[in-house]
Every structure is written in structure tokens, then in C-alpha cells.
Amino acid sequence: MPVWPDQHREVRSLGVEREGEPYVWGYGEGPAPEGQVRVDLLYTGLSAGTELTFLKGSNPYLHSRWDAEAGVFVPGEPTARFPVAFLGYMEVGRVVDAKAPGYRRDDVVAGRWGHKTGHTGDPSQDLLVRLPQGMDPLLGIFVAQMGPIAANGILHADALEFGGAVPRLGAGLAGRPVLVWGGGTVGLMAALFARQGGASEVAVAEPSAFRRAVAERMGLLALDEEGAWRHAKSWRGDGGRGAALVVQTRPRSESLHLALRALRPQGAVIDLAFYQGGADRLRLGEEFHHNGLSIHCAQINRVPRPLAPTWDQRRLALATLDLLAAEGAAVRQMVTHVVPFDDAPAFLRDLVRHRPDFLQIAFKQETW
């Protein structure tokens, strides 16, 4: 039943009770205090590459602790334990009570509050980004996390070209061919950012025929991994044959090796992948060494150091909004499953057991 904004309410959250067992649980939440906004969930996106590792019990935080000061993982001291009550960071919802300046009731906002049916947040602390009127709310799941991850990869490429004087996002790719390795959500978003930035050609390397078909519906050239590095070697520039830049998003050591093979001498890989199982099959004694290549990690919480004074998560999210305004129809092709929120546990169990073809999954909260 509907709940008035000034009433207490129950919020339901999707988590993992134990390995292999997702669940939905609930807790009470009071009215929004002054300076905050209360939001009802519309959609929440699944970040399969990260979240399924909790279901499988392979996430590194279940086995080690991140020491932020030293910048190392400490084995044998788990940060996370079952039940993992909160997951997710790809949400969009409708404001039902606004007690913070700049927000109004019925605003549609994107944020990172987890797979929860409601959220009360402080806009001065939380990333809450209003969607423009008329934008499909489903596109909002990309605004706060996946879009910024891809945009940050493009920003790292720009910094290689311009240092701290990047004139605009994608400027470092303008007029150049770009190879994106991986046709998942982050890879396809990066490909669209490259296209918007003026790349002369954008090719996507992806082993899955299903995902290549999605990329092609988005107007992108999609190739299998063997065909992709060979295609890149048809590109000729001042530095030799191959791509000057590859944006790598597949967390597989063999994919990183092929991405390196696709480069011209002294080319660079911008790596967005999270190699949770390590990369023990990576070979650095061949093309990497002989062609003088480089690998740059573009982790979501770190923009290029020279750009830190002018770029942050909000600016990356706003750049994502610009991309969605221009490429919304293409981005919508990426959403292959929209599942009722209450069906999420059963859906996730089936996803882990049977691994059907999918790309971006969203859970939808039914509204009154």
C-alpha cells in the first residue's frame, strides 16, 4: 500500500544470505529529516561482474581486507561476511519528499543507494543526479556508476594526450580509431563515449555472438577477439600498424594479452577490468616488451591525477547524462532483462546456475 511521505515505511533490500542464496529482507525507515530527500525506487541495475561474485563466494572482500592507507589487500581478514545485506550501485527513483534545496517532489533521480525499494539521502553527501524531463527513467540506472566508469576510461585516454589540459571528454580520441575490448555494459558505454568524442572508427571485441549482435544494433562494429586484433593491425599511423589505444573491459588475462597484441608500438591499454581471479595467464614477454607498450588502470574512484581538481564523480555522471541524451536509443538496446524486484532472488539463482545470455539486467519496483 502507498505510504505518505511523513510516515515510517518498510524498505526492502536485496542481498545474499549465504553463498548461492540471494534474499530480500526489510527494515524500517523514518521520515526524511531537514536537508534530505526520500526516494522510491523505480529501477535498480545489476552489476553482474561484481555482484555475482558474492553469490559465488569469490569476491575478494569475503577473504581479505582492503587497507586503504597502505593500498594493499590483507589476506585472511575478510571485510565482508554473510549475510551481505546490501548490494548494488545503479539506481533510479522518484522523489516523494524533498526537504533539501534543489529537489522537488516527483523529480526522477539517479544514485548509488543499492538494491533497495527506497532511500533517504543527503544530497550534500550522496550522489543524487536529477534526470531531465522526458528521459526514460530506465536509462537512469547507467548515470551514477557504469556510465562514470566508462567515462573515466575515456578521461584517462584524454590525459595521455593532453595531461591536465583536457579540453573536453573524448578530445584525445578525436580523429583516431579506437578499439574497445569487451561488449558488456562498461565496454559498450565506453564505445559510445568514443563515438561521441569523434573517434574515426570504433570497433568492439567480444567473444559472445549474443553481445556482438547487441553492439551491432547500437551501430557499432563488433568482432570476435581474434578478428579484433587482426582488424586493428589494418590501422596505419605514424607510430606503425595497430591501435594507438585500446580500452580493455574484460577481466580475463587472455583478453588483456590480445588487447596488447592489437596495439601499435608504444601504444597503451586503458584497463577498466577488475581481475578478481587474478591474471596469471598474462604474457608480458612478447608484444608488451618488444613494442614498448603500457597499461593504465582507470579505477572508478580515481580520475587521472592532473585532472583531480576539475573532474569528480558528479562531473562524470553529468557527462553520462549528456551521452544518454544523445544515444539513449542505443543505450536502451543494452537492457536485455527487466525483472520485477520481488522476483530478483529466484532470477539470480537461475542466472548463476544456468548463465543464460544477457547483457544489462534491471530490477523494477512496482509503484502504486
| DSSP β-bridge partners for residue 257 | none
**Identity of residue 293:** L
Residue written as grid cell 563488433:
222
Domains located in the chain, CATH noted = 9-142+335-364 (3.90.180.10), 146-306 (3.40.50.720)
pTM of the model: 0.96
Q: For residues 125-152, give the mean pLDDT.
A: 97
What is the grid cell recorded at 10? 518498510
pLDDT tens digits for range 94-112: 999 999 999 999 999 999 9
Distance CA 310, CA 36 (A): 26
Q: Distance between CA 115 and CA 26 in Å, rounded?
A: 12
Angle at 88 between CA 85 and CA 90, to 5 degrees: 155
Burial of residue 246 (CB within 10 Å: 0-12, 13-18, 19+) is: buried
Looking up cell 505518505 gives: 4
- Looking at residue 2, what is its pLDDT? 60
b/e map 304-323, b = 16+ CB within 10 Å: beebeeebebebbbebbbeb
CA 91 to chain centre: 12
- Indicate the helix (H) or strand (E) that contains 180: strand 177-181
Q: Which residue has the higher pLDDT, 70 or 4?
A: 70
Q: List CB contacts of 50: < 8 A, sequence separation 6 or more.
A: 59, 274
pLDDT tens sequence across 246-299: 999 999 999 999 999 999 999 999 999 988 878 888 899 999 999 999 999 998
